[in-house]
A and B are shown apart, each in its own frame.
Chain A
Amino acid sequence: MTTLTSHLKERVLLLDGGMGTQILARNPTEEDFGGVRFEGCMELLNERRPDWIRDIHGAYLDAGADAVETNTFGCNEVVLGEFGLAQRVEDLNIQAVHLAKDVARSYDQTKYVIGSVGPGTKLVTLGHITHAALYRSYFAQMKGLLKGGADAILIETSQDLGQIKIAIRAAKNAMAELKLERPLWVQVTVESSGTLLLGTDIASVISTVEMLDVDVLGLNCGTGPDEMHAALAVLAESSTFDLSCLPNAGLPVNVDGKLVYNLGPEAFAEKVAHAAKEFSLNIVGGCCGTTPEYIRALRQKLTNWNVTHRTPILERAATSLYQAVSLRQEPRPLIVGERTNANGSKLFRDLLAKEDYDGLVGIAREQQRESAHMLDVCVAYVGRDEVRDMEEYLKRLVTQTTLPLMIDSTEVPVIERALQMAPGKCVVNSINFEDGEVKARKILDLCRTYGAAVVGLTIDEEGMAKTRERKLEVAQRLFDLVVKEYGFNPSDLIIDPLTFTLGSGDEAFRGSAVETLEAIRAIKERFHGTLTMLGVSNVSFGLKPEARHVLNALMLYHGVQAGLDLAIFNASKVIPVARIPAEQRKAAEDLLFDRRSAGYDPLKVVLEAFGSASAARTSEEVAARLSPTERLHLDILDGEKQRILVDIDEALKDQDPLFLINEVLLRAMKVVGERFGAGEMQLPFVLESAEAMKAAIQRIEPHLPKEASATKGRVILATVKGDVHDIGKNLVEIILSNNGFEVENLGIKQPVEAMLAAHARKPADAIGMSGLLVKSTVIMRENLVQMAERGLNVPVLLGGAALTRDYVESECQAVYPGVVLYAQDAFEGLRHMDAITSGEPLTRPMAAAPGVPAITVLRRGTGAVELTPDGSSPWVHRGLAIPEPPFWGVREAGHSVEELFQFLDHFVVIRNRWSFTQGQLPDEAFESVLHEKAEPLLARWKETLIQEPLLKPRALYGYLPVQAAGNSLKIYDPSRARILDTLHFPRQPEGRRLCIADFFEPESSGRFDVLPLQLVTLGAETAEYTAGLYQANRYADYYYFHGLATELTEAYAELLHARIRRELGIHGKDARELRQLFSQGYQGSRYSFGYPACPDLEGNGPILELLGGGTIGVEISESWQMVPEFTTSALIAWHPQARYFAV
């Protein structure tokens, strides 16, 4: 143990700052480098200008640094080779260490010398250099640094996981060769994008390096201290190694043509000291742009140099070049894609034979799209060189998949080459004891060297374990070897207890599925933390595809029930168990659990019953047989916005782009519209189709001839004056623009003048007006009057919740000479646009023939009741005991997004806001839409919204004294000294003749009643985020988020109303079931302006005024709607007879 190790146990170590900048500040000349061909070779200065290097080291040590880094950043074969100095690597490294050590020794205190190892100039993962050449380059440098006597090796500024793995191995092998051990430190460079240069996230770095057993893992270069926070937080939370942080002096800025860093020594030191405290850093220092002044400032700023301890928790994961994938997926299992396997996929084998590597990579990417979490890679093919094939394949694959790899081979050299080629932490599949332990140990050695988890099969010298007892026995042996002897984390051992086919009818295997399932249960119980895996599809080997899908799905299902963690599986063939018809399920489960009886053999049933079954055919199988244009059709129907790009590229090879748009894509969209109209397809799926359409069109556009116009016509869309409702109009835009129409979307609150101006600027084939409010229907008619006056007759489409077909076709049509068409939904709008632009004669719809009153009142028994002398409905009892509020006046309420979700009406979100309606779907099909699409979607959104600050809920509520006077409420200040406002409400002209004012005590009683008021908002950010989703063409997300936010606003209102009832002590009648509560299952009523009992939005003004809406950022628009969008206000009546009613 060196003293450096013991220093780090107790004290934070202060490292030095930048070296390169210090050298360049001395303006080295050609002469200093020893000739023009060596110009720029910093490492040569160790020999040619040792005085400079000594000065620089000395300045840092004077400034208070505990250690300096050698001037050897590029002192390896690759970099020196560019100057023709490859053979001098070892010698220059030795000189550099000696120089630094000389300086260090001149101090009284112990100062350390750290051997700096930079990344070099070539990225191994991108194929700039071979694995072997890079290893050699590093090995020579490591040897030099160690021979020179460096106190530690620092692999720094690392940008490539592949490079890190090689450098670590080179360092360890050099130490082994020289028989000395030195601490090994690794630092990566996180770019301002938040990942390493090649896109690796920090979690992937941690899990990859963790297996390789180093001493320090930290960050240097790339950004300043502020930008490092996110990555430091992840490191502090999960890295088990000491943590270092050497930022640049901020971010580079251009000042008068010179690059300078934006943090001065004080600011830099302040931030690094802060990070040291926050993240319990063990090593601090500086990188580019930092000087001895920075190190001096840091020495002074950091007050506590004692090491503080972290308790990191690292979730076991496998990693790719890009990301870490947890080995424990929630929900289980982790799906290992099985098709990148020459034994499992004929297509893969054929492509391998042709050496079509792009095709092979395509199979991998397809599985990634089909939601595999990891790829099982096997290139074993008789007669071919497996090592070479693995190398050639992984060379291309590792940069093109985000998934970690499971290296599937029985050959040790193949496994080793694969582990060299794969930049991340792989899983090796597999070891067993068929021929004893020798081979298993060789493979485990490789796993340790290159950092990989391992799969162990329950096979030993006696063969494959078939009973649960034997499986457990071999599992014990695997556990003892891998975990106890080799010291692997238990979760880096994945035990596969083997699956055998039930399809052969072989008596010996009839009970094998049960044995396997029970073995999983036992393994999970006995070996805590150890994971399990099955090659699920083996269970059905030899059966027909239809039967296989069902049997596999059920084996997977029961495996997961038993505790299965990973499943090798074809992700595209996962059939939801709920979709398996009951009789098929029974037969398959009877087969799995070997439930035979006299005259009944489930295998027979399975063999017969599935012969003609087509339900289980997967879309992937169908797609494989189709032509590119047929696939495009399917892509649109399925909303495959990723796959469609591949198919577009394919189709463009021999198809005319205009043909693709008009004859393939638009036709498919037409089918989407038809299915929607027939109630077979829900709106969210339509939006996903539209997203796929958008993606496809964008892909095709560059290929269109310049003069070509793919536009079928032009339409101007607007939400009318005074109405802020966006979504209906936007849905129309989505559908029209993705069905070949040019849409000019003017936005909300548009006066008719704006629509006409747009039309004058560029004439449209139609103008579409939208609006949600009842008032908007009147505005639409007024707009038509104005348009008629100006002599226009361009067709007009009207749509909106408050409109009726009858109103449009009679009253609106009556005032306008052009055609006025009602569009109940976006697709009816599309049909109208198609008719308008195709030149079909537009017959003006006729109003219903007059004269035959369809609906007749035969008797109106009670008629209108007489009002009381107070001018209120006699139906309402007055003079009840008035509840006492806990306070008078207004207060702000504080609630989290999570609390809002507790009051969310899931039914309304899914069925109404998200339009998942059953339509013409059979019950079972709709059930699976709900269970597999809608409900998981809501769960995901919930998680996102609770974690990410997209919603900023705020609310005000209060209690004010009130008295009724006829149709009005006089609202007093808390002291009852003066009237704050008087609100007027409409009264039913007939029937009970109700008015909201009736539910409060009248002035004549001399008593003051209590008026609860409330105002809730999700904040302006919510509306901005919604708009952003729309701008980004994320139609479905836009629709989901908008709908969910709207309903969460309601949920907040419901929550606050419940609190008010509680505070008033009238919550005794609250329904226990939420669904009932949402259906007015409580005493009293909550009235909002714009709804049937008080339809006039103007009431929002006084409510905001009374509550002081501005304090939570709520304003009122000129049309009396509240801004931001996701806001709602209400007044509350506690009176037991107060319910919803319409005036």
Chain B
Amino acid sequence: MTETVKVHFLPEDLLVEAPVGTMLPDIADASGADITFGCRSGSCGTCRIRIVRGLECCSAMTAEERDFLAGLDVPVDQRLACQVTVLGDVDIEYLGIDS
């Protein structure tokens, strides 16, 4: 039995279950979450998200993501969704959605 994780996409109250170690973009695609991806390689920044809970359950940053975000000088709880592998339960807030 594979261990699973729960990903909660807060803006649309979408709760998804996936095997530990699944890439966040795969989870978002499969569940139809309203995250916009651009280059999917960590260099355009379109998919910036905020990890509201479970930052420690996200894979460590790749060098690309670290360098990209360093250039934007953003708070530590922000990540590029396309670069994140989910290792435990997380709650996610989208950025750039001002209502």
Contacts and interface: CB of A to CB of B under 8 A. Distances in A.
Nearest to A875: B99
Given A923-B63, A991-B32, A1079-B48, A1136 B12 contact: no
B14 A860 contact: yes
A401 B49 CA distance: 58
Interface string B31-59: 11111111101111110100000000000
Residue from B41, B43, B48, B68 having most chain A Cβ neighbours under 10 A: B43
A917 B15 CA distance: 34
A1137 B97 CA distance: 7
A1092 B47 CA distance: 12
Contacts of B17: 855-856, 858
Nearest to A861: B13
Contacts of B71: 907, 1075
Interface in A844-877: 854-862, 875
B23 to A, nearest CB: 10
Interface in A810-865: 854-862
A1092 B37 contact: yes
A757 to B, nearest CB: 35
A1076 B36 contact: no
A1075 B6 CA distance: 33
Interface in A1004-1018: none
B77 interface: no
Given A912-B41, A1075-B71, A1139-B97, A861 B12 contact: yes
Contacts of A856: 16-18
B75 interface: no
A887 interface: no
Nearest to B18: A855
A907 B68 contact: yes
Interface residues of B, number: 41
B3 interface: no
A860 B33 CA distance: 10
Contact of B44 (A908, A918, A1093): A908
B34 A917 contact: no
Interface string A690-707: 000000000000000000
A1075 B67 CA distance: 12
Interface in B46-96: 46, 48, 62-64, 67-68, 71-73, 96
Contacts of B13: 859-862
SS class, residues of chain A in contact with chain B: loop
A923 B66 CA distance: 12
B95 to A, nearest CB: 9
Contacts of A988: 34
A858 B99 contact: no
A857 B31 contact: yes
A38 interface: no
Nearest to A913: B43
Nearest to B32: A990
Contact of A907 (B6, B32, B67, B98): B67
Nearest to A1079: B45
B76 to A, nearest CB: 17
A800 to B, nearest CB: 13
B41 A854 contact: no
Interface residues of A, number: 37
B45 A857 contact: no
Given A1075-B72, A1139-B96, A854 B36 contact: no
Contacts of A882: none
A1140 B43 contact: no
Nearest to A863: B12
Nearest to B63: A918
A1092 B39 CA distance: 11
Given A859-B15, A918-B64, A1073-B73, A992 B34 contact: yes
B34 A1080 contact: no
B33 to A, nearest CB: 8
B26 A855 contact: yes
Contact of A1079 (B18, B27, B62, B72): B72
Contacts of A861: 12-15
Given A854-B19, A875-B99, A908 B43 contact: yes
Nearest to A1092: B36
Contact of A1078 (B32, B36, B45, B97): B45
Contact of A912 (B16, B27, B43): B43
A1143 to B, nearest CB: 10
B98 A855 contact: no
Contacts of B6: 858
A861 B99 CA distance: 18
B17 to A, nearest CB: 5
B27 to A, nearest CB: 6
A855 B17 CA distance: 6
Contacts of A908: 43-44
Residue from A862, A875, A1079, A1141 having most chain B Cβ neighbours under 10 A: A1079
Contacts of A918: 62-64, 67
Contacts of B31: 855, 857
Contacts of B39: 912
Nearest to B17: A856
A388 interface: no
Contact of B34 (A857, A912, A991): A991
B25 to A, nearest CB: 11
B15 A857 contact: yes
Contacts of A860: 12-15
A907 B17 CA distance: 35
Given A859-B13, A1075-B71, A854 B22 contact: yes
A911 interface: yes
A912 B44 CA distance: 9
A1137 B96 CA distance: 8
Contacts of A1142: 34-37
Given A911-B68, A1142-B35, 17 more contacts: A854-B19, A854-B30, A855-B31, A856-B16, A856-B17, A857-B15, A857-B16, A858-B6, A860-B15, A911-B64, A911-B67, A990-B32, A990-B34, A1078-B45, A1092-B36, A1092-B37, A1092-B38
24 contacts: A854-B18, A854-B30, A855-B31, A857-B14, A857-B16, A858-B15, A860-B12, A861-B13, A861-B14, A862-B12, A907-B43, A911-B64, A912-B39, A912-B43, A912-B44, A917-B63, A917-B64, A918-B67, A991-B12, A991-B32, A1092-B36, A1092-B38, A1139-B96, A1140-B36
7 nearest A-B pairs in the assembled complex, by CB-CB distance: A861-B13, A918-B63, A991-B34, A912-B43, A1079-B45, A855-B30, A859-B15
